Structure 1
Amino acid sequence: MSLQWTLIAGFLYLEIVIVLLLVLPIASPRRWNTFFKSRFLQGIQQQAGIYFVVLLAVLVLFLLDAIREMRKYSSPEVTDHQHLDAEMQGNMRLFRAQRNFYISGFALFLCLVIRRLVTLISQQASLLAQSEAAMRQAQSASTAAKTLLAQTGASNDNESNEAQDKELQVSTLRKKITELEDKLKSESKDKHAVKEQAENITKEYDRLLEEHSKLQKKLLASGDSDKKAD
């Protein structure tokens, strides 16, 4: 294997290891995102796009060269007096071209896969952070709502207690007013009865005075007649 294809094969093996590290649950998306946003990677981030395009162009060139070699050795000119060594050499070159095609093709494919995995892991980490922030906001909102409901319930209880106290006071006052009205009615009735009794006593007293005066007159009249008789 020539030097360039050895380098491409080594790059392919490195890509396989990177894909396994990204796919297997070795680290959480947060840690991967923290690693992606490290100072070293942030320093080469500006040139990363250029490096990626250059790498893709190199892999595409090697892939096209492998395809050319495959087409070149896949249909060799067959002659009647072709030597066996030449045929074996052609088959070997065809095998190398196919091997180089698979190496460059898989290297190109895994390069795109790694880029996509990095993007998805970063998005997943940001979504996890947003979901946690939303959960915290929801928990704080639910806590505030529970506190507000508790305060509202307490105020409602206080208002209901105050309303009950007011109702009790009103009912007590009504009872007192009713009792006072009853007492007033009874006292007014007693007053009327006493008044009537006083009027009756006055009338009886007047009648007795009249009878007394009549008796005195009779006694005086009888006394005078006795004096005359004497």
Structure 2
Amino acid sequence: MTLQWTAVAFFLYAEIAVSIFLCIPFISPQRWRLVFSWRIWSWLSPYWNKFFFTMIMALIILFIDAVREVQKYSTPENMQDAKLNPNVYDHVHMKLFRAQRNLYICGFSLFLWLIMRQTVTLINLAADTLENSASLQARVDRAVRAAQEHQENSQTLKQALLEGEKSKSAEKQQMKLEVEKLVGQLKAAEHSVQKSQAEVEAMKRQAKGLAQEYDRLLREHHQLQNLQPSEDKKDQ
């Protein structure tokens, strides 16, 4: 294996290791987010896009070269020449096997390189989504608590209004009873006043009768006094 394909093979092994490490289930996206926020990545971020596209171009070139090698050693002319000489046949098949191996190595390297970038992007998106969902859940919990408090306050206010209405109805009933009692007392007082007025009228009539009787007696007394002097004169 030449130097370039050895480097591509090691690059493929590194990609496989990193991909497996990124897919470990017990490492949450938030922890990967903390790893991605290290200062070294911010230092490498200006060069990351250049390095990414450079590796893509290099892998594409090597992939095209591997495809060319596979086509080169799988042509019918080479296979017919190889059949005439057993040593050449083995040599052609060895070259074809190496070309196919290089093609697979380069193809998988290019595929995993794109997958790794997409995986890192998805991990960051998942971390953002989890953080947003956590903040949203906290806001929902606060809203639910506020709604519960508002419901409790409304229930307390409703209970207070019901108690107020009950107390008002009790006060109204008590006031009604007091009014009825006062009305009864007023009627009794009116009856007493009417009775007193009747007694006063009767006393007035009695006093008027007594006054008339007194006047009559007084007149009779005067008449008797007037009769005595005349009788005395007759006796003399």
Superposed pair shares fold, TM > 0.5: yes
Which of 137, 140, 146 pairs up with 2:139? 137
* Paired residue total: 229
State the distance in 2 between where 1:140 and 1:80 align.
79
The separation in 2 between residues aligned to 1:219 and 1:47, in whole angstroms, is 154
Identity %: 29
The TM-score normalised by the length of structure 2 is: 0.85
Q: Which residue of 2 aligns with 1:9?
A: 9
The residue number in structure 2 matching 1:21 is 21
| TM-fit CA distance, 1:219 | 8.0
Give, in angstroms, the shift of residue 175 of structure 1.
2.8
Question: Which residue of the partner structure matches residue 183 of structure 1?
Answer: 185
Alignment equivalent of 1:95, drawn from 83, 94, 97: 97
User: Residues 136 and 72 from structure 1, CA distance in 2 versus in 1: closer, same or farther, beyond 3 angstroms?
Assistant: same
d(CA) in 2 for partners of 1:205 and 1:83?
Answer: 174
Give, in angstroms, the shift of residue 76 of structure 1: 4.7
Note the C-alpha offset of 1:22: 1.5
> In structure 1, what is the equivalent of residue 49 of structure 2?
49
Q: 1: distance between equivalents of 2:199 and 2:213? A: 21
Shift of 1:204: 2.8
1:111 deviation in Å?
A: 0.5
3-state SS of paired residue (1:44): helix
The answer for unaligned runs of 5 or more in structure 2 is none
Q: CA deviation at 1:205?
A: 3.7
1:158 corresponds, among 157, 160, 166, to 160
Cα distance per residue 1:61-114 (max 9 Å; x no partner): 111111111011001522498211011100110011001000000000010011
Alpha-carbon shift at residue 43 of structure 1 (Å): 0.9
Structure 1: give runs of 5+ residues left out of the alignment: none
**Paired residues for 1:207-222 under 5 Å:** 207-211=209-213, 214=216
2:62 pairs with 1:38: no
RMSD: 2.7
Q: Counterparts in 2 of 1:62-73, with a 5 A limit?
A: 62-73=62-73
Matched residues in 1 for 2:140 and 2:157: separation? Answer: 25
Task: State the alpha-carbon separation in 2 of the partners of residues 176 and 168 from structure 1.
Answer: 12
Distance 1:69 1:81 in 2: 19
Alignment match of 1:172 (pick from 151, 171, 174)? 174
| CA distance in 2 between partners of 1:120 and 1:176 (Å) | 81
Distance change >3 Å, CA 127–CA 91, structure 1 → 2: same
Q: TM-score, normalised by structure 1?
A: 0.87
Tell me whether 7-16 or 152-161 shows the greater mean CA deviation.
152-161
Q: 1:167 to 1:26 in 2, by over 3 A?
A: closer
Aligned AA (1:176): E
- The 2-side partners of 1:99 and 1:204 are apart by 150
